[in-house]
Each structure stands twice: as structure tokens, then as C-alpha cells.
Amino acid sequence: MGEWKISGFREVRELGAGAQGRVVLAQHEETGFPVAVKYVVVGPDTAPLEALRREAEMLARVESPHVARLYQLVEGEHGAALVMEAVDGVSLKVVLTEHGRLDPQAALTVLKGSLLGLAAAHAVGVVHRDYKPANVVVPEDGRSKLIDFGIASAAGSASRSGTPSYMAPEQWQAGEAGPSADVYAATCVFYECVMGRRPFGADSVVGLRGQHLTAPVPLEDFPDPLRPLVVRGLAKNPAERHSGAMEFVAELESVARAAYGDDWEGRGIRTLAATAAGLSMLFPLAAAGISAPAGTAAAGAAAGAAGAGGAGTAGTVATGAGNTAAGFLAKASVVKATLVIAGATAAGTVGVVTYEKTRPEAAEAPAITLAALNRTYADGVLEVRGGQYARIKGMRKASVQTSVNKALRVPLDQAVTFYKEWGRTAAARAACGGRMNLLSTTVVKGLTGPDLVSVRYVPKFQRRCGEGPGYHPGFVVTVDLRTGRALTADDVFKPASFGPAGMDRLWDALPEGDDKQQVMRGHSGSGGFFNPFSRESFIRSSRHPESPPWAQPFFGKSRFELIYVGMDDGMAVSPFDLSRTSAYDFAIPYGKVKALFKPELAARLPVS
């Protein structure tokens, strides 16, 4: 088995081996891109091959920056292999062995990151079934990642599979393994991170079974503010736990914020990153002298015995951040494609690719270029001179790139439509005579990949005639590079964030200063100030269909920016002048507002 290799990859070093296979670090020969390859033996016993196919199927369904990215499933005469993303980090098991326990905020950070990976799996009907410290990776950026879907199954499957120290009661009783079983295992690991020991520690499998089925959770020394998470997460009855990982994330964020403040996650990530950095000599890429791929966040690779032993000892794989796994294998029995890896391996064997997401090429963020629109609109008495807008090039999928570029052009088109309104009436056009109102735009780039591109267009308008509607909106777009779709406010904010408490929190996060005071004056009346933020503020105005939303989220490289419409409310008493010619730009540290965002979006944003 050790001699069989897939072609197209140069083996760098072995990461782990067992009775049924091994895991190696390799590089794609054409690009030098690092990957982890998990091999299994093909022989009379077809169980290892079927297990690898099942793992590929489960992994290919899941799309999340917190889950390993699958590139290929390759089958040959003498073996089969999974080709996956390999990047730098150490397993949580190593971290706990070295340090014993984690600061509670760092433990919450580990839990949140891996729960987001589980949530992505649960969303497509996949249950991991083997969540444990060895399957959670801590990279140098402090953002935990979930790996190894070796015994994952469809939700609702009966199962006794798992690692005994973390198995839910229903798994011990061969009941249905649903998302709440993963919630139970994740809570066990969280307890271990905080306390430095597992919640149940019997010496025998029989003893562990009894404790997981009937023993109360020892909470005497557990931090009081975090106890509700453990009590619910380790409930014996699955109906009493969180229904899935995303529900757990929502409660985790609420509890963490109440216990440690708004910046709990930033502090936790920094602590965890420092902890991982102290173990950087164990990072597999660094040890092999290989640079992490450009454009990706650092993530973890771990190694273990591939298939050595029984349930819960599936081989360890590598995982990466910054890129998401995509694709879907519709059937457990993988249909073979016709693509063949060209060329002979060192052992003279050629493999057939039975699943391929993409060849592992350098995962650099696509390049952003600038284009310009120059056009005269006779009907609207408007000339666009240097209407700058952003474009993307270098994406692998031409169809997605086309969608991205179409979305990136929308704010410029919105600006043109809005400023044409200034000469909309016949009287305005007559007053203009031969003159033209002039519009130009400047592009301000925020995030530029690997998953999101956020762009703001700042207009410069020279009014020579006509009258405007008395306000100046912002022109912003954020595009998901995986789908080519522009994000809406409902993609950004949790539904609950649009309630009074959430919008008040957003208002309170605005930096104090003249701009905030001006907005407050603009929204004060006889009944006193009312909050200008609501869901309606983030959607198209029905009164002004030509205008973009009055409030728009812009994602900067190091902070969140809220772009809010500038109002021409006339002159106010000094020192405030409410007459505006542009939108307000409020810069807010991510840590102050991330809790308002949907967890799957917040996970893709920088740390302030």
C-alpha cells in the first residue's frame, strides 16, 4: 500500500499511518500547492473503500470556511485517496496536552468556530459523529477549524460510532444520531477546554457508558456565567439540547457577551492565536519548509492513524480556511467520472478521479481592477465623466465572475439613476439650457477576498441646474465570491438584530462626534429622538425608488463601516450644519457589531 501513489502530486512527508492506510503531506507538481492526501488500501475487504467514499460524499456536501476543503476522490487498482486542503496549525488535543486548559474566552472561541463548521454540515443533513479535540484544529490566526468526516453520516442514522469520551447517550444506545449528538460532543470538548478534564472520566468503556447515560455533570467549579451552555448542551435527552449547532452559536454569543463584554471574541481569538503560535514548530507546513497558500487564512493540519482500530479512530485529515468546500455527491455510491489523472506514478499506477471539486491551484484572491464610464444622458441632463467602478478578473468560474462584475456595477447605475432625477422635470431641463450636471465616482475598496468583496462608490456631483430631492445616499455593494450574488441586509443581520434592542446597539456603536450629533438632530422632533435604524433603513425606500437604501453595511479590511444617507435639512443652530452633500461614513470596530451579524457571515470577517 505504501508504494501506491496518485500522479500529479509530489509526496513531502508522512503525517500518520495505520493498519488501513496513511496520511501524507504533498504538493501539486504543477503549482506547488500543498495538499493532504489520505490513502486507503483496496483489497478483498471493501469496507475501507466504502468508508472513504462515504467520507468524500459527506465532506463534499459541506460548504464552510470552518471545514476541510475536498479537492478529489481518486480510485485506482491498488488503492484510493482523498486529496484535501493542507495548511498550518495544531490540533486542539495537542494544545490541551501542552497547556492543560484554556482561558474561558479562548474556549468559547474554539467552540464557536467548530460549531459553525458543524452548522454547515447540519444544514445539508450531515452529522459529524466524531467531534473531539483531535478533530479540531487551532491555526496561527486563532480561528478553530473542524476536520475529519471519516464516520460522518446522514442525519437520523442509527449509530454506535464515535469516541467514547464524547459520545451522546443516544449513540451509546444505538439510537438516531442527529445534530444534537454533535452538540453534545462539542459541549464535552468545551467543558474539557475550560476545566482541563473531561466531564466524565471513567477508566472503562462500560463505566463511560453509565456516566454518559445517567451521571449528572460535575459543575461545582465551572464558571457560573457559562453553566447554562453546559447544562443544556449535555442534557441526557436530545430533545432538551439545542436542535443544532447554529442554535447553540446564538446562545453562546449571548452568554459570552453578557459574561465578558462585546469584545469577548476578539480577546479569545488573540489568546488562542498566541497559544497556537507557541506550538508553531509542530505546524506541518512550517516543518516541511512550505509556505501557506496566498490568499487563505492560516488553518490547521493534523495527522493520525488512518483507520487504525475500531469506531472513532478514522484517519486524520488536513483542513484549511479562507476557501469553502463546495459540490455535492448525490449518491453514497459515487458515480465515476471519465477524467483520468494523466501520467504514471512512482509505482506505475494511474488513478481515476471519481469526484473532483477543483484542481488545487493557488488560492489567491481575484484581482480587482477599475473601469470608467463616460456618457452623456440627454434626457436627464446628466453627463457622467469618469464614472469609476470596480471589476474582478482571474476567477476560475467564468459564470461566477460575470455575476460578480454585474453586481459590482449596480452602485454606479444607482448613482446615475439618482442624479438623473435632478433634471427629471421639463422645467429643470428647460432651465439647464445647454449645460449639463456632471457626475464622477471614486471607488473605495474594503474587503477584497477571499470570500467577499465590498466596494463603496463615492460620488462627486456638480449641479449646474435642476433641483434634487434633498438628501445624498451612499452607493455600496458587498458580493459573495462563491456565488456572485450581492448580499442584502437580511444576509448580513440576524433577524433579531432588526428589533429595537439590536438597532439601539447599532446606534450606540456609532463613534461619537459631529456626524452622529447631526444625524440625531435630523431625527429629533417634538416627541424626542427616535432611532433612524430599522430593517426599513436597510432596504429600498418605497418613497424614493430611485434611491439606494438609506443605511448600508460596508465591510472594511479592519473595521465595519455604516454608510448612512446625508440629509439637506437646512441650517441648524451652530455648531451643527445639517446641510449635506454626501452620505455619512461611520467606522466601527468589528468587535462591537459582529454579534448583530449572522454567524456564518461574521466568521468570514476580519478581527478588529
Active site residues: 130
b/e string for 72-88 if b means 16 or more Cβ within 10 A?
A: bbbbbebbbbbbbbbbb
Decide if 379 contacts 423 (C-beta within 8 A): no
The alpha-helical segments, DSSP class H, found in 540-595 are 590-593
**Side chain identity at 598, as an amino acid letter?**
K
Beta strands of 69-196 (E only): which ranges? Answer: 70-75, 79-85, 90-91, 126-127, 136-138, 145-146, 153-154, 157-158, 176-177
**Side chain identity at 511, as an amino acid letter?**
P
My answer on whether omega of the bond before 450 falls inside 30° of 0, hence cis, is: yes
Coil, strand, or helix at residue 468?
coil
Q: φ, ψ for residue 449 (rounded to 5)?
A: 120, 175
Cβ count near 447 (within 10 Å): 22
Give the gyration radius of the chain's Cα atoms: 27
Can you count the helices (H) and strands (E) in the chain? 17, 24
**Side chain identity at 298, as an amino acid letter?**
A
Separation between Cα atoms, residue 397 and residue 394, nearest integer Å: 9
Coil, strand, or helix at residue 327?
coil
**Side chain identity at 376, as an amino acid letter?**
T
Edge to edge, the sheet with strand 485-486 lists 367-377, 382-393, 437-448, 452-462, 475-480, 485-486
